[in-house]
Amino acid sequence: MPKVCGITSWEDAVMAIESGAGALGFNFYPPSPRSIPADADLGWIRDLGMAFPDIARVAVVVNPDEPLLRKLREADCFEAIQFHGDESPEFCTKEGAAFNYWIKALRVRSEEDLAVSVEFSTPFLLLDAAVPGSYGGSGKTLDWSLAAKFVTGYPGKKVLLAGGLTPNNVSAAVAQVHPHAVDVASGVESAPGQKDPEKVRAFIISALS
């Protein structure tokens, strides 16, 4: 299943859905060029759920504070929350309980980075490239052999593969790793925070082929 992350507008959301995306990610991490302001009106995201009830809407956060978490809970427009920072297993379990499910992102350099996955109670793990000073969206590719070994070794985990995926490499990534889903942000943009319709369509076709 393709997940298109860093959606910032209704138009990009509908374009991604009509191109075949099964999930959309909405970023609430201010340093990111794809971030939605914490005080923004989220009504359009709620409306997406009414127009496209089969599409999963995922709130992406990095070390979130309570005011942001409260806003996301009260908005009642996200099926899931994705913890993309340094959140503890206990924090994720507690705060993730307010949503239908939650995802923990792991920044992977080695097998040791993957070993901590067993501490998180969710089956949904997003594997991203480890880049110093970055919490994702770097465009860097992780070691697919590590991801493939993890998928084989932990069949109970549903892996979302991220990190440097593009229309040109996603088919090879899927063939090697066999993830539950693939996640893309910068790899389908014309500019930071602006999705390119041709790239989105090409990515999803390649991911599903």
Catalytic residue among 5, 12, 77, 92: 5
What is the residue-wise DSSP string for 73-117?
Answer: HHHT--SEEEE-SS--HHHHHHHHTTSSEEEEEEEESSHHHHHGG
Nearest to 183 by CA among 7, 65, 51: 7
- Radius of gyration of the chain measured on its C-alpha atoms: 16
Give the active site residue among 12, 92, 128, 183. 128
* Residue 54 annotated among the catalytic residues of the structure: no
Q: Would you call 92 a catalytic residue per the annotation?
A: no
Element (H, E) at 206: helix 197-208
Phi first, then psi, for residue 187 (nearest 5°) are: -70, -10
Which amino acid, 149? K
- Enumerate the active-site residues: 5, 128
